[in-house]
Structure 1
Amino acid sequence: MGRHNMSDPYATDGTRQAPRARRRTVAIATVLVLAVAGGTAVVAQNGLLPSFGDSCDDDAVRLDLVASPDVAPALTETAEYVRDNDVTSDGRCLDIRVTDREAYKVADSLRSGKGAPDFEVWVPDSSLWVEQASAGDERVPLTAAGNIATSPVTMGMVPSAAKSLGWPEKKYSWAELTAAATAGDKLRLGAADPARSASGLLALTKIGASAKKSGGADSDTQVAATAKLLAQRTSDSDAQALETVARDDSGTERGNPRRNQALVVSEQAAFTHNDDAEQAGSLQLFYPKDGSPQLDYPFTLVDESRLSTDESRAALRFMALIGEQRGAKTLRSHGFRTGTGEATGALVTSAGGSEPQPYRTAASSQPPSAKQVQETLGMWTITVQSARLGVVVDVSGSMAQVVPGHDQSRLDVTKSSLIQALSQFTPEDEIGLWEFSTLLDGKRDYRKLVPTQRLGDRTKDGSTHRDRLTAEFGRLQPVPDGATGLYDTTLAAYKEAQSSYVSGKFNAVVLLTDGANEDPGSISRSGLVTELEKLADPKRPVPLIAIAVGPDGDEQEVQEIAEATGGSGHQVDDPAQIHEVILKAIMSAGQG
């Protein structure tokens, strides 16, 4: 691979100099990435990359690397060894500067594309963050070159709590373990915030998948209830979560009820914690029998097109060194698994694991799909904040059309999807229901069917508001010859949501329609947008989540209307996708 006409981007004092013209094709860079990721050891052994002992030029190649706080110390140790021993790449010394930074913060920054990154390499604790960072419209390009380490996500408990659940002989699935830990306030279970922690998000996603696999009819509600309980004991970061662990074996620490007896934690974090903790406050690990999700530490090049050839090769040279004997040993000394993910008995014992817990097969768990992660984040958002939603459903005549592949009407599939979405909400959430067409209630195009109340509230006959809402969803029927009275309904629903705003909850209006406005006597679209913009109040946010259902839905129209409130517009060809879109939209609006 030839050199390019490029000046050294860093001077010997570490100050960046202005680069001359430098561009390489992404294809060539990708080939280099794949080649190094697939065979770094072979390349180094054959002398294609310089090894230890080569002469050191004065103009070292400096790279700034940002890493998750857990892996940053190990990478810093390797970087210091590289500098102290004049390790080179293409005859030039490597000067790697490692900074620890929470992965969720980096992902948010890269997704927004605001400002040029001040680093060339990023090593988050999970590929989840790379996927999230790559989802924004203004995102910074990222190239994952390989994974440098792994650590399974487990559940740790202080010795007395672990003993009460039969550790280490007793084996549980994630659903069983969570249920045992939370049954009757038996244990205080904590975790890091799944919106900010890969460990928390992976565990919660796995708990949901495990509960569904167990086959319970109310598995979604059980998972939401577990998340609600967990939300009461979450910390902003993994490090802060570890600080909540009880320091005495009673789990109360002299009666302190805030101390956790159990914690969702990575093996590596438990390793670090146990190294400092007294015996009574150490953690013992359960490795669920249905597999542990993995933190996988992707070595990621940031906006590769702006890197010089020397910088790209230096980054990959450093990744190769991390994977070689000394670098791998350093990672293991900090509690990480390397290579194929097998762990030594000494590492697991120090982390709090013991046979017959299935720690040797912990790496067999398949990573969750993007769909599972999005659904979990959506559920978590509404669980943490509690939701107050007004659901407004189009019942115009066109909703009677049959959906290809379902042999059901557009409204029937919509109702099923709404009922499925309802199972994701907890008893504390508040939901109401309107239907709309044209002239549905006198001169009004809409009719209020169910008031917005807590799903757990009891009615006079002893049923819950959730039961009533489910029944009303099921009773929705298309209005023969009914047209779509979209604009007046939207304005009325938004005004009511604003007037009944409840502080401390996630307030929103969810609007579903399969067509454009067909009421000639209604407010115009531009008039509606103007009115919504006037009503929208940043101090009392009520985003409109507008979903165009079916091929006749106008995505551009619902986007324009929703964006006037700070909300979002979506298009779904298949109404069965509605529940996923609602959860994703709630997550996005909640984060905003």
Structure 2
Amino acid sequence: MKCSAITQFGFKKPALFFVASLFILGLMTACGKKEQATTKENSSSAIVFNVLATSDLKDAEALEAKVKAATGIELKFTFGGTMESTEQVLSGKSKADAAWFANAKYLLSDPQGQSRVKLQEKIMLSPLVIGVSESAADQLGWKPGVNVSWKTVTDAASAGKLRYAMSNPASSNQGFMAVMGVVAASSGKTEALTAQDVNIPIIRDFLKGYRLVGDNSTYLAKKFIEQQGNEGKDSINAFINYENWLLALNNGGKLKEKLRLIYPHEGVATADYPLMLLNESRREEYQKIIAYLKSEEAQIWLAKTTLRRPLSPEVLKQVDYLFPKDQLLIELPFSTDRLLADTLIEAYLNEFRKPIASTFLIDTSGSMKEGTRAADLIQALQFIAGADNSLTGRFSRLTSREKLWMMTFSSKVRDPVYFQVPEAKATVQGQLAKTDSSEKQAVFLQVRNFAENLRMDGGTALYDGLYIALNNMASEKNKHPEYAYSVVAFTDGQANSGRSLEQFKQDYGQLPETVRAIPVFMVLFGEAKERELEELIKITGGKVFDARKTPLATVFKDIRSYQ
């Protein structure tokens, strides 16, 4: 009998009514228990299985629907940068049930990371390779079938013949694995690396070809498409990334010419995309998700959709037409030494990479007094000057040799205040670990004091400030071309003093090409006009960062990955 049918009965005699009442009460109680049990069961199955994933996995986001259809489990991805996501897992602040990274080598090199990860399963594969514009590859003699070594790649980069885009090694997996790949190949070892294996001159030579910096593959792909084949010494002719991204670029129809994928013959570093269980209480759902992801159906879908290789050789045979033929993939050794990894990143930032020169254009208008805007800005500036000792904080602070101009504006633009971080002592092979020198800490203190003394008042002469900042950078660039130049602007409102956007665009068009090559990074918060700032960076290059929903200090860290 259906529970909904109980109310259809009618009784006229009292005795029968009493008996029937007991009968109905029993049925209703039973039905209530059944409905409660069903509701509880549905509620349990509807609990979202949250996965913290690195941003390069956005191309697999459709798995949310596919996993639900196959298993009934509600899967939800949250995407973030490699170091940002790693820090969340290590600190225990992540509320995710699982994490999905390109690889777990860095995370699991830390005892804390090992304790956070309960289980892990590899899902798919993609080797880190070098995509070179076909005409440039021909000029370098890298014809199809020719063996190219990491040394050959490094020599070409050092000579200025290989000019590549790559994600920032301090914040993203691809760049970090590329640098580790150079270390591993130059060591000639087949086992785990140590600090003694880091060949400093070779890393420096390799990084001489590093021309386009960014935090993620989506941004870099867009910029690479824009800049590929441009004239001049700063033109880009190569892209170091995982195979799947480079294959997607070749298939996308937007490149000026296709990329020839180079697999250095000593070996490559391969992403194996482990899905890692963090929440032990979700083990059963995790295992169901793993079973589906490793099924033939899912592996073929992943290969066709994301161009990553299936784990199974048998499944790979079904989709091998998607991938380059006759590529023997040899895996390079990777260090499990966390100290080596961290200090290699520190050495990259403070010694190996092209030094940074930037103007921070800071809105100090009266509207900055509202809420916590001024306090947030001051904190963010202090964080990049050594006040944040977190993992991401350490890798996003001001670096050795860095030049920084702090230029404030309200109704008028004020003269810039200059800071220079001293050069670090040269790294000694086998002794990578360092601490900030007292001279460097003194500059950090000066920057923190500057931030503390900011005062907010007046209007917003944003475009006057930008114009002056760009000209300031151009003058410096002419004198010191060895630096990487940028302008970072922070504003919480619409420009209401000085130049308008249209006037700025006219004046900007008259600037020399060397000035227009300097990217502008805009930070949007408060009442700033998003559409106007997006229009601005279309002509200046760079990127808009939205700090309305993300803490300003976090946005600062993101910006550092693009400088």
Provide TM-score, normalisation by structure 1.
0.49
How far the C-alpha of 1:163 sits from its partner, in A, is 1.8
Determine if contact 1:63/1:120 at 8 Å carries over to the other structure.
yes
Alignment partner for residue 291 of structure 2, among 291, 296, 320?
A: 320
Would you say the 8 A contact 1:292–1:365 is kept in 2? yes
> Deviation digits for residues 381-437 of structure 1, max 9, x if unmatched?
2235689xxxxxxxxxxxxxxxxxxxxxxxxxxxxxxxxxxxxxxxx988xxxxxxx
Q: 1:94 to 1:364 in 2, by over 3 A?
A: same
The CA distance in 2 between the partners of 1:344 and 1:162, in whole Å, is 28
From 146, 153, 176, give the equivalent of 1:177.
153
Residue number in structure 2 paired with 1:515: none
Distance in 2 (alpha carbons) for counterparts of 1:201 and 1:224: 12
| Alignment partners' CA distance in 1, 2:75 and 2:253 | 32
The AA in structure 1 aligned to 2:95 is D
Give the C-alpha shift of residue 218 in structure 1: 12
Per the alignment, residue 210 of structure 1 pairs with 185
Query: What is the letter of the counterpart of residue 150 of structure 1?
Result: L
- Give me the whole-angstrom Cα distance separating, in 2, the residues matched to 1:343 and 1:194: 33
Name the amino acid aligned to 1:77. A
Distance 1:241 1:506, change over 3 A: farther
- Distance in 2 (alpha carbons) for counterparts of 1:204 and 1:120: 31
Q: CA RMSD in A?
A: 4.3
Question: 327-336 or 169-178: which moved more?
Answer: 169-178
The TM-score, its normalising length taken from structure 2, stands at: 0.51
Which structure 1 residue ranges, 5 or more long, are not aligned?
A: 1-10, 18-54, 388-427, 431-500, 511-530, 542-589
- CA distance in 1 between partners of 2:117 and 2:78 (Å): 18
CA–CA separation in structure 2 for the residues paired with 1:170 and 1:344? 25
* Structure 2 counterpart of 1:190, one-letter code: A
Superposition deviation, residue 193 in structure 1: 0.7
User: Residue 274 of structure 1 corresponds to which residue in structure 2?
Assistant: 250
Q: Report how far residue 505 of structure 1 moved.
A: 4.5
User: Pick from 129, 132, 135: which aligns with 1:157?
Assistant: 132
Among 105, 110, 115, the residue aligned to 2:84: 105
* CA deviation after TM superposition for structure 1 residue 347, in Å: 6.4
Structure with larger RCO (C-alpha < 8 A, sep 6+)? 2
Look up the equivalent residue of 1:269 and give its one-letter code.
W
Quick check: 1:386–1:505 contact (8 Å CA) kept in 2?
no
Cα distance in structure 2, aligned partners of 1:341 and 1:368: 27
How far apart, in 2, do the equivalents of 1:327 and 1:148 lie? 10
CA distance in 2, matches of 1:58, 1:131: 31
Aligned to 2:375: none
Q: 1:81 and 1:210, CA in 2 relative to 1: closer, same or farther beyond 3 A?
A: closer
Aligned counterpart for 1:503 among listed residues 420, 423, 434: 420
* Alpha-carbon distance in 1 for matches of 2:197, 2:345: 19
Aligned in 2, Cα 1:99/1:163: closer, same or farther, shift over 3 Å? same
CA shift for structure 1 position 286: 0.5
1:143 and 1:128 map into 2 onto residues whose CA distance is 15
Runs of at least 5 residues in structure 2 that lack an aligned partner in the other structure? 1-36, 190-195, 356-398, 402-417, 428-437, 449-559
Distance between the aligned counterparts of 1:158 and 1:192, measured in 2?
18
Q: CA deviation at 1:57?
A: 8.3
1:342 to 1:505, Cα distance in 2 relative to 1, 3 A = farther
Is residue 2:343 matched to residue 1:378? no
1:274 partner letter: N
Q: Does 1:168 align with 2:136?
A: no
Q: 1:362 aligns with which of 329, 341, 354?
A: 329
Aligned-pair CA distance for 1:345: 8.0
Q: What secondary structure does 2:145 align onto?
A: coil
Amino acid in structure 2 at the alignment position of 1:538: L
Go from structure 1 to structure 2 and tell me whether the alpha carbon gap of 1:258 and 1:183 turns closer, same or farther (over 3 Å shift). Answer: closer
Displacement of 1:375 in angstroms is 4.9
Secondary structure at the aligned position of 2:277 is classed as strand
The verdict on how the C-alpha distance between 1:536 and 1:78 changes in structure 2, with shifts beyond 3 A counting, is closer
**SS state of the match for residue 185, structure 1?**
coil
The aligned counterpart of 2:495 is none
Counting aligned pairs with the same residue, the percent is 16
Change (3 A) 1:140 1:168: same
In the alignment, structure 1 residue 222 sits paired with structure 2 residue 201: yes
Residue 263 of structure 1 corresponds to 239
Q: What whole-Å deviation, never above 9, does each CA across 1:127-175 have from its counterpart, x for those lacking one?
A: 1342267558xx9822242111111001111111122232212212212
Change over 3 Å in CA distance of 1:223–1:538 after alignment to 2: same
Structure with higher helix content:
2
Q: Compared with structure 1, are the counterparts of its residues 109 and 509 closer, same or farther at alpha carbon in structure 2 (3 Å cutoff)?
A: farther
Structure 1 residue 317: Cα displacement: 0.6
* 2:168 counterpart of 1:193: yes
2:337 aligned partner, one-letter code: A
Question: Which residue does the alignment assign to 2:3?
Answer: none
Deviation at 1:119, TM superposition (A): 1.7
